[in-house]
Amino acid sequence: MPIPLLVAIEIDPVSSSRLEAAGFGLRVAIDKAERARVISTAGDDIRAVLTNGSTGLDADEIAAVAALEIICALGAGYEKIDLDAARARGIVVTHGPGTNDATVADHAMALLMAIARGIVGADHAVRGGDWLRSRQPRPMISGKKLGILGLGTIGEQIARRGAGGFGMDVAYHNRTPRADAPWLYLPSPLTLAQWSDFMVVATPGGAATRHLVDAEVLAALGPAGFLVNIARGSVVDTVALVDALEHGRIAGAALDVVEGEPNVPPDLARQQNLVLTPHIAGRSPEAVKATVDLVIDNLKAHFGGRPALTPVPGT
């Protein structure tokens, strides 16, 4: 008999079929209201939940799923899963580190190049018949200073692409320096912004990093500096970013993530020196397969009486 699995996030049909073939009966509930309805009717049967860091699973939801044994986060993030509530129940929580790092790093560099070289605006101008307007000088990337805010596995891959592919000088900020990192460590987001031509946000989400990039950091990045965010929308203060873009305090920004997504604030959306993508940095076919592979492996391990492969630290 299939093991009931609550799917709280959007997944593609191929991934759904793979989960079903692995022995799980899917109860799909994407929005919170639908999730509450499914939990109220099937909460006594559901033994596993598939979510991600952006959607999470809160304490009330965890409490309402009486038979819950394991929560799997698709991808590396898990910031909105209530870990304390899970620990109190002895519920296993897993995530997917390393499954989409390369894809996210590729996307970060694509965003960096797109905003620096004005690709989106030039495309729009040419399609509109305005060839001359699109032929304005734009900054080069090679040899510039690349700052990485958060040198985890994704940040490291971005750094290697910048240094090895474009001959960029690289610096980074973490809570503590990494002994194995060959790049310059700077002691704060502010000093990193002051140093950088391009600053890429690659930190985890959650309360500890909320609005880490604020008005002061953006001012330090300066009118020739560019911001790229492939982490979580909450890391950047949206009001401060809109103000910086409107008044030329930074040269431009490229965001794959936005506070409150999928809703994009109108004041942000109308900025011309901005490139937006809909949280797709980790969505390559290769990465999707790898993340679902790991979810299935974790679920099979747990329900087969073995330890999970990639438990969230401390759970």
**Residue 243 and residue 249 in contact, taking contact as beta carbons nearer than 8 Å:** yes
Please give the torsion angle defined by the CA atoms of residues 80, 81, 84 and 87, in that order, rounded to the nearest 10 degrees: -160
Q: Which of 35, 95, 279, 302 is catalytic?
A: 279
- Provide the β-strand partners of residue 228: 200, 254
What totals of helices (H) and strands (E) does the chain contain, helices first?
12, 12
- Provide the β-strand partners of residue 198: 146, 226
Spatial separation of the C-alpha atoms in residues 71 and 110, rounded to whole Å: 33
Active site residue 61: no
Q: Which of 69, 124, 138, 261 is catalytic?
A: 261
Spatial separation of the C-alpha atoms in residues 55 and 33, rounded to whole Å: 13
Burial of 300 (0-12, 13-18, 19+ CB in 10 A): middle
Task: Copy the structure tokens of residue 80.
Answer: 């909105």
Active site residue 279: yes
- Phi (first) and psi of residue 313, to 5 degrees: -55, 135
In the block, tokens 């692409």 appear at 161
Q: Which of 27, 47, 232, 249 is catalytic?
A: 232
Kindly list the catalytic residues. Answer: 232, 261, 279
